[in-house]
Chain A
Amino acid sequence: MKVLHWFAGICLLGTLGVAQAEARPDPDLARNLAATCANCHGTNGRAVQGAGNEELAGVPKDKLLQKLRDFRSGAKPATIMHQISKGYTEAQLELVAAYFAAQK
């Protein structure tokens, strides 16, 4: 296992440098978070046409973020989204909303 740890360390050095690897935010964070929505809203927010769940791809960021905030506060009634939206931080919801807005 020692060799493996050493190798993993070298691997990071070879690409980024360890300090940078820790400091640099994961560029795929928004993509990964948005992927948790795909089960109901489709891959990259492109819902199956006619299935009955909302399409998120291309929705303007502010509009989607406000909707998520309203679900979270209870201002907007829902069957399930009021419960799910509470599981994400404000920063995470912003990333998710920005990611879907960018999907054309």
Chain B
Amino acid sequence: MLNRRDFLKTAGLAAGTLALPGLTGCAMGSRPRGHVVVVGGGYGGATVAKYLRMWSDMGVDVTLVERNPQFISCPISNLVIGGDKTMADITMGYDGLRNTWGVKLLQDTVVGLDAGARKLTLASGGVLGYDRLVLSPGIEFMFDQTPGLETEDARRTVLHAWKAGEQTVALRKQLEDMKDGGVYALAIPKAPYRCPPGPYERACLVANYFKKAKPKSKVLVLDANEEITSKKALFTKAFEKYAGILEYRSNSELREVDAAGRTAILEFDKVKADVLNVVPPQRAGDIAARSGLKLINNRWVDIDWLSYESVNTPGVHVLGDAIFPAPTMPKSGHMANQHAKVAAAAILRLLAGEAPNPTPVVMNTCYSFVDSKNVIHVASVHQYDAAKKVVLPVPGAGGVSMAANELEGKFALAWAKNIWADMLV
């Protein structure tokens, strides 16, 4: 066995020639030390930044690179679109991460990754080195699969509002400006996409708004999937409540968009709307999808479920919507927060020269509003299967609401407040 001095010498030698994982922590003994850079300050990135600091007793340095000055939540943003909440309700600062947790914040965009040299290039021109890197970039839209939405102009007319922010505000404004008697059409891509129940919740909340404010108007849901992809029975019941306002069409994949005419072109049909809302197909965000990390289906990052480390790029961990999901695992903010905690624990052990926890658990809860007050949930718990090397849903656990109810409406808002604090405060 090597003694400590020999070991340090060997490690030092190796470090001179190769970039190696866990070097800093390993050389220091079992206390994790090092610099972790996190790219993306959403549900995954903000959580991992906080937990790395908290669980290392502030011993590990963390830099968070985020392009936006503030966090805007996708969950609850459908309530802004429906007119029940405001942008202020879903917008929070990063001060807690900075002041309470000592996370170094850089408002910037990462434009290049050299995983061999463990360096990132920033849009501002800077270069940032790391011992371990966490990418939590969320999704990028595949506009090449929605002909007609190639130009910025077209995308200002036909909105996605599938990343909360200015598009959320703009879609709300289009709905407010629409005449009573108009048609709002929502196109849903084939699964997997971010937030499986999200489109159906949005359809309900727009219908709820029309019912109160523009009762002659219609909501038309054009779903590329063969059926409702999440909480089907519960959403079917909710849609019945909006009979006469909301119409749901399955197997209605969008082929092309005529943005100027606000027309969705399907295989056998053309649908003209007053407000056309297209959620395009999605893939992992650019920095994860275009840096040589192994992808599945050319869209999502293939990761090791014990560490969330890329299977082919040592030192690079990926969280949230950007990863290829485990069986039945949704792309949700809740799940990204759970990924972040498994990854934080694993990174700290790797930085200390130890193997990651071999029995990680993650769980999910997605609440959906079917009107201003009533909510339905879907929940699941996923345990690591050592033989299959993936987390799998626990049979018999999880499930959905019995029926939409107001109590869960309160829990949904409580969930939002607690998860936002869990990531940012």
Contacts and interface: CB of A to CB of B under 8 A. Distances in A.
B276 interface: no
Interface in B369-425: 377, 379-383, 394, 396-399, 401, 405, 407-408, 410-411, 413-415, 417-419, 421-422, 425
A28 B270 CA distance: 57
Contacts of A13: 1-2, 7
B342 interface: yes
Contacts, number: 154
Contacts of A83: 379, 397-399
A36 B362 contact: yes
A86 interface: yes
Interface string B244-263: 00000000000000000000
Interface in B151-188: none
A8 B22 contact: yes
B422 A43 contact: yes
Contacts of A43: 50, 54, 421-422, 425
Contact of B337 (A39, A51, A79, A87): A39
B330 to A, nearest CB: 14
A12 interface: yes
A15 B51 contact: no
Contacts of B358: 26
B73 interface: no
Interface string A43-81: 100011001110000000000000000000000000110
Interface string A15-30: 1110001100010110
Contacts of A35: 51, 341, 345
Contact of A80 (B4, B22, B360, B365): B365
Nearest to A47: B418
Contact of A84 (B30, B342, B355, B398): B398
B379 A38 contact: no
A5 B405 CA distance: 53
Q: Interface range on chain A: under 10, 10 to 19, 20 to 34, or 35 or more?
A: 35 or more
A87 B399 contact: no
B10 A10 contact: yes
Nearest to A22: B355
A86 to B, nearest CB: 4
Contacts of B355: 12, 21-22
Contacts of A14: 2, 4, 7, 11, 26, 353
A79 to B, nearest CB: 5
A28 B411 CA distance: 29
Q: Is the interface of A mostly helix, strand, loop or mixed?
A: helix
Given A40-B365, A84-B398, A11 B26 contact: yes
Interface string B1-38: 11010010011001000101110001001100000000
Contacts of B407: 79
Contacts of A42: 418, 421-422
A22 B425 CA distance: 35
Contacts of B338: 36, 39
Contact of A39 (B14, B51, B365, B377): B365
Contacts of B417: 48, 51
Interface of B: 1-2, 4, 7, 10-11, 14, 18, 20-22, 26, 29-30, 50-51, 54-55, 314, 334, 337-338, 341-342, 345, 349, 352-355, 357-363, 365, 377, 379-383, 394, 396-399, 401, 405, 407-408, 410-411, 413-415, 417-419, 421-422, 425
13 contacts: A11-B26, A12-B354, A15-B353, A28-B357, A32-B357, A38-B419, A39-B422, A52-B413, A87-B380, A87-B397, A87-B398, A88-B381, A92-B361
Interface of A: 3-4, 7-8, 10-17, 21-22, 26, 28-29, 31-33, 35-36, 38-43, 47-48, 51-53, 79-80, 83-88, 92
